[in-house]
A = this chain, B = another copy of it.
């Protein structure tokens, strides 16, 4: 028996030799902690630091002024709070407000340098940055959709399709709903598009899309559907770290993202999905939505392929960003818009935050729709151009589909 204890112990230490040595941040500090009163405490051990701050989207935003190419504009940046040093060099900040149930990202700034929370191993990558994750889930609140529950789960697959446009295989994330594999039924398909700097992983990591889908479908609020998360950067095979560039540092804006190539190439994705999966391969059973750049892609896909999608969702859409002369995809906008509505789409859904820098562009677009008597559904939320809003929009949009 002694031998067994010894071996078990050595097994533990052996396997975890590196983990234990490296135990991230060291023991004894808990962060973040959701307190009983709904506030959240953040802690960071740094005995030699002069200043420790926390920033993240759980804090009220603050206006930041920027100058770019001689133009001045401002945007909403996450707030910043100072931590106060306590015993043992452990800095601490507790919110003076109840942190509403939601999924948040945050980082510390230690004497100006940004670092993730060393006591929280849950991180999201956003372009070339890591952020720590805080999930405040509460039954009955929307954020409960972002949590994993013991409900039937869909299958989430990383699937490669041959892109004739790109000249190489490219990766998609594909969600097939619980029951798909056992069924012989055909399913409708929703295509979900990311924003600039994103990829086929973004909606799954930051967007909690597969949790939202599992939960909405399990409760009967949404129909079972296949969901395809595309990679909108045609020059890229797959998300950073998942392509043949290896562990190169990702860059924000890639070529061929907003100059028409993605939209031109889109039918090859639809063809691939209809060929591989049991889809209902017709307009009434096809939807598309996307955030920011993906909202722009959504609009252009809807207008250029009026027979492809019955449902379109524009989330904080980057309307009016690209030069309309750079691609046939962006030309003849008004004529295409008229043709699109003549095709009687089941739903054009628009969501935008009140402080989004794209708010006015979206309002202008809706005015054009109103002036022409074109029908759409609009949801306006607080806040700006952030994931918090895009998760809300997805969870509002999905239940409306294929009904």
Residues of chain A whose beta carbon lies under 8 Å from any beta carbon of chain B: 1-19, 21-26, 45-50, 55-57, 64, 66, 68-69, 71, 73, 75-78, 105, 107, 111-116, 118, 120-123, 125-131, 133-135, 137, 147-150, 152-153, 155-160, 168-169, 171, 178, 181, 195-197, 237-238, 241-244, 246-247, 249-250, 252-253, 258, 276, 292-293, 318, 320-323, 356-358, 361, 384-386
Contacts and interface: CB of A to CB of B under 8 A. Distances in A.
A177 B171 CA distance: 15
B14 A133 contact: no
Contact of A17 (B11, B78, B114): B78
B121 A276 contact: no
A114 B24 contact: yes
Contacts of A9: 68-69, 71
A16 B252 contact: yes
A48 B45 contact: no
B114 A22 contact: yes
A357 B10 CA distance: 7
Nearest to A122: B247
A344 B69 CA distance: 75
A74 to B, nearest CB: 9
A18 B126 contact: yes
Given A6-B73, A24-B129, A24-B130, A385 B17 contact: yes
Nearest to A276: B181
A49 B48 CA distance: 7
B111 A48 contact: yes
A160 B149 CA distance: 13
A17 B115 contact: no
A217 B120 CA distance: 38
